[in-house]
Amino acid sequence: MSSFQRSTMFCLFLMITIFITFGSVLARAAYAPTAGPTVYRPSPWTLAHATFYGDESASSTMGGACGYGNLMTNGYGTNTAALSSTMFNNGYACGQCYQIRCVQSPWCSKGIATVTATNLCPPNWSQDSNNGGWCNPPRTHFDMAKPAFMQIAQWKAGIVPVMYRRVPCVRKGGLRFSFQGNGYWLLVYVMNVGGAGDIQSMWVKGTKTAWISMSHNWGASYQAFATLGGQALSFRLTSYTTKQTITAYNVAPANWNIGLTYQANVNFH
């Protein structure tokens, strides 16, 4: 066999090998499962303590450091809790969901309460951390709305040891954006957050602007110092826990107003 024939056969063999290898890669890619959305999973159970505040109506829990306003009309109900500052994390824990069950106390019931973090339980340095200063750092503590506390223990207990874990927040519908501010300053409270329930960063875009980074104000609120009146507004948000980013387009129409709440058609998982 001539050297020309050997070279030709080698080239042909090489081409067939490349074709087969490339084809198998394409086939695997075609049949590989597509990556789904980031899904928040429950955390392990951890020991903490819980108290309650307010009465059975939970009226004193309305508002709160997260800025959710009327918890009833905004979908949070009475299954809420204020977190000690160690857990509150300067407001980045707002909207997170927890399952709580009472342990190691004769006052315990068998129930498990699922609550949303809506408020801060501030330190009380005038009292010992083990005798009244329940929310003093570095304590991990839940000050629950009374109706939620009564799901896990008798209210006469006052304080009980609990086991808790982070769980996914199950929300109906899309993210909600409540507008405050003025013509030069937009303050947005983000509510009804699914998945991990929390927000790390946020951007706003008008129909006449690029994406504008919003700074964290406090609780569940973010702000932009910009003139955005007369423009339809879109928002982009990143979860604090999962780092998932989603975009809610055209949430508010061009004639949006301060004091109103607008709902998107997207949410975290």
Q: What is the pLDDT of residues 131-141, one digit of tens each?
A: 899 999 999 99
The residue behind tokens 């959305």 is 37
| Dihedral sign, Cα of residue 110, residue 114, residue 119, residue 120 | positive
Do you know the residue count of the chain? 269
What is the model's pLDDT at position 37?
Answer: 56
Degrees to nearest 5, angle at CA 67 with 176 and 255: 45
pTM for the model stands at 0.83
Tokens of 2: 């001539």
Q: Over range 205-218, report the average pLDDT.
A: 97
Burial level of 3, CB count in 10 A (0-12/13-18/19+)? Answer: exposed
Q: Over range 93-107, report the average pLDDT.
A: 97
Residue 2, Ramachandran bin (φ over 0: left; ψ between -120 and 50: alpha; else beta) = beta
Distance in angstroms (rounded) separating the CA atoms of residues 163 and 63: 26
What is the model's pLDDT at position 62?
Answer: 87
* Parallel, antiparallel or unpaired: strands 97-102 and 46-53: unpaired
Q: Over range 21-34, report the average pLDDT.
A: 36
Q: Over range 73-91, report the average pLDDT.
A: 95
Q: Is the model's pLDDT at 27 over the cut of 50? A: no
Task: Write the pLDDT tens digit of every residue in 169-207.
Answer: 999 999 999 999 999 999 999 999 999 999 999 999 999
What is the model's pLDDT at position 36?
Answer: 45
The residue behind tokens 């080698």 is 10
What is the model's pLDDT at position 38?
Answer: 66
User: Distances in Å between the alpha carbon of 38 and those of 19, 23, 28, 168, 193?
Assistant: 35, 30, 23, 12, 14
Average pLDDT, the chain: 88
- What are the beta bridge partners of residue 206? 233
Distance in angstroms (rounded) separating the CA atoms of residues 73 and 68: 10
What is the model's pLDDT at position 35?
Answer: 37
Amino acid at 140: T
Degrees to nearest 5, angle at CA 166 with 111 and 83: 85
Between 260 and 14, name the one with better pLDDT. Answer: 260
Q: How many CB atoms lie within 10 A of CB 172?
A: 8
For residue 15, name the pLDDT band (cuts at 50, 70, 90): very low
Burial level of 32, CB count in 10 A (0-12/13-18/19+)? Answer: exposed
Distance in angstroms (rounded) separating the CA atoms of residues 46 and 166: 9
Task: Write the pLDDT tens digit of every residue in 236-248.
Answer: 999 999 999 999 9
Tokens of 37: 């959305």
